[in-house]
Amino acid sequence: MSDRTIVGFIGTGVMGSSMAGHLLAGENEVHVYNRTKSKAEKLIQAGAVWENSPSELASKCSIIFTIVGYPKDVEDVYLGKNGLIASAAKGSLLVDMTTSSPKLAERIWEEARSKGISVLDAPVTGGDKGAREAKLTILVGGEKEDFERALPYFRLMGTNIRHMGKAGCGQYTKLANQITIAGTMTGMCEGLAFAKGCGLDQKEVLEAISGGAAGSWSLTNYGPRILNGDFDPGFFVKHYIKDMKLAEESADEIGLDMPALSLTRELYEEISEGGLDEAGTQSLYCLYDPEEE
């Protein structure tokens, strides 16, 4: 982007730090806030401006991106007494990239609209690798003109950028993504554990099946991590459990039973209770091969 724009970014964790970094590299003046300041230090050293609260950040930025942990965090940041909607100027654009509740996204949009503020729900998928490489998929709900306004910034963070419809539709699409991943994650872990149990070379099996009908993003990106014993988070187990619960809640609202999703959530809750809550989602493999824990 040629013109330097003041942009706010809240949530500089595993993915947010890379995403904010791309906005900074895009010749924007970026102001950042995170509950734990140390997680923003690299951005500050790179030129980002630290703000002490969401309200302070909102007073200086006309477009603000957020990616926090849970729907409760989203609610606090947007609808709290000193939250973004209470603090942002009329005409501001607020973009939540957290995977959150579609109903909450709709409520935030309604509240913001009553104050002349625009809001998009724009959850992402692609994990830490997609965030680092600016290759995220960004799924957007909200008004088309607001999407167009945010698009130049989205292009600094992702490659597959889709306007999915009205407020909440970005979140519904992300939940559909998480439902689909449930089957690929369990299948990948069980397939690799089966290969090991049969005495096969897991690396050769991975290479053999990745290019066929079993191929998937999860297999290509998480399979090698599993074989290397790398269970560091590209996406936290605790956050995936949150996403699956949100998907189940939305499915209940439309009367849809999803037994595969529920079983996957139960498996992830088992490893979470076993101490892997902050491990990467690929650590589901440890349920089948405890030697890898």
Which whole number is the average pLDDT over 102-130?
A: 97
**Cα(130)–Cα(37) distance, integer angstroms:** 24
Give percent of the chain with pLDDT exceeding 70.
98
**What are the catalytic residues?**
174
pLDDT of residue 137: 98
Question: Half-sphere exposure of residue 133, counting CA atoms within 13 Å on the CB side?
Answer: 12
SS3 per residue for the chain: CCCCCEEEEECCCCCHHHHHHHHHHCCCEEEEECCCHHHHHHHHHCCCEECCCHHHHHCCCCEEEECCCCHHHHHHHHHCCCCHHHHCCCCCEEEECCCCCHHHHHHHHHHHHCCCCEEEECCEECHHHHHHCCCEEEEEECCHHHHHHHHHHHHHHEEEEEEEECCCHHHHHHHHHHHHHHHHHHHHHHHHHHHHHCCCCHHHHHHHHHCCCCCCHHHHHHHHHHHCCCCCCCCEHHHHHHHHHHHHHHHHHCCCCCHHHHHHHHHHHHHHHHHHCCCEHHHHHHHCCHHHC
pLDDT of residue 280: 96
Contact (Cβ atoms closer than 8 angstroms) between residue 54 and residue 35: no
* Burial class, 81, CB count within 10 angstroms (exposed 0-12 / middle 13-18 / buried 19+): exposed
pLDDT of residue 2: 39
pLDDT of residue 5: 74
pLDDT of residue 4: 63
- What are the pLDDT digits (tens) for 230-277? 999 989 999 999 999 999 999 999 999 999 999 999 999 999 999 999
Q: Is the pLDDT of residue 1 over 90?
A: no
Q: Is the pLDDT of residue 168 over 80?
A: yes
pLDDT of residue 267: 98
What domains can you pick out in the chain, each with its CATH number? 6-166 (3.40.50.720), 172-292 (1.10.1040.10)
Of 67 and 291, the structure prediction assigns the larger pLDDT to 67
Q: Is the pLDDT of residue 113 over 50?
A: yes
Q: What is the pTM of this model?
A: 0.94
Q: Is the pLDDT of residue 228 over 70?
A: yes
pLDDT of residue 291: 80
How would you classify the pairing of strands 63-66 and 124-125? unpaired
Mean pLDDT of the chain: 96
Which whole number is the average pLDDT over 101-115?
A: 98
Q: Is the pLDDT of residue 107 over 50?
A: yes
- What are the pLDDT digits (tens) for 37-89? 999 999 999 999 999 999 999 999 999 999 999 999 999 999 999 999 999 99
Give percent of the chain with pLDDT exceeding 90.
96
Which whole number is the average pLDDT over 267-292?
A: 95
